[in-house]
Structure 1
Amino acid sequence: MRKLLLSLLLTCSIVGEVLAQGASSSSGEQKKTLYERLGGEAAISAVVDDFAQRVLADPRINQKFAKSNAPRLLYFLKQQICAATGGPCKYEGRDMQTAHRNMGITNGEFNALVEDLVATLNKFNVPKPEQDELLGILAPMRSQIVEVQSDATGTPLPADFKPAPPLPEKKIKAGPFPKKNQRKMKARR
Structure 2
Amino acid sequence: MEQRSLYDRLGGQSAIVAVIDGFVGRCAADDRINAKFARTDVPRLKSMLVDQVASATGGPATYTGRSMRETHDGMAVTAGEFDALVEDLVATLNAFNVPAAEQQELIGILGPLRSDIVEVET
TM-score tier by shorter-chain length is: over 0.9
Q: Give the superposition deviation at 1:67.
A: 1.0
Runs of 4+ in 1 over 6 A off after TM superposition: none
What residue is the counterpart of 1:118 in the other structure? 90
Matched, 1:40 2:15: no
What residue is the counterpart of 1:181 in the other structure? none
What residue is the counterpart of 2:27 in the other structure? 55
Work out the percentage of aligned pairs sharing the same amino acid.
57
The one-letter amino acid paired with 2:106 is: L
Aligned-partner Cα distance in 1 for 2:43–2:17: 12
Query: Rg bigger for which structure?
Result: 1
Q: Which runs of 5+ in 1 are unaligned?
A: 1-27, 151-189
Deviation track 1:134-176 (CA, whole Å, cap 9, x = no partner) reads 00000110000000111xxxxxxxxxxxxxxxxxxxxxxxxxx
The one-letter amino acid paired with 2:5 is: T
Matched, 1:75 2:47: yes
Aligned-partner Cα distance in 1 for 2:118–2:20: 21
Calculate the TM-score normalised by the size of structure 1.
Answer: 0.64
**1:127 aligned residue (96, 99, 111):** 99
User: In angstroms, what is the RMSD of aligned CA positions?
Assistant: 0.9
Calculate the TM-score normalised by the size of structure 2.
Answer: 0.98
Q: Which runs of 5+ in 2 are unaligned?
A: none
Q: Give the superposition deviation at 1:71.
A: 1.0
Task: Give the number of aligned pairs.
Answer: 122
What residue is the counterpart of 2:77 in the other structure? 105
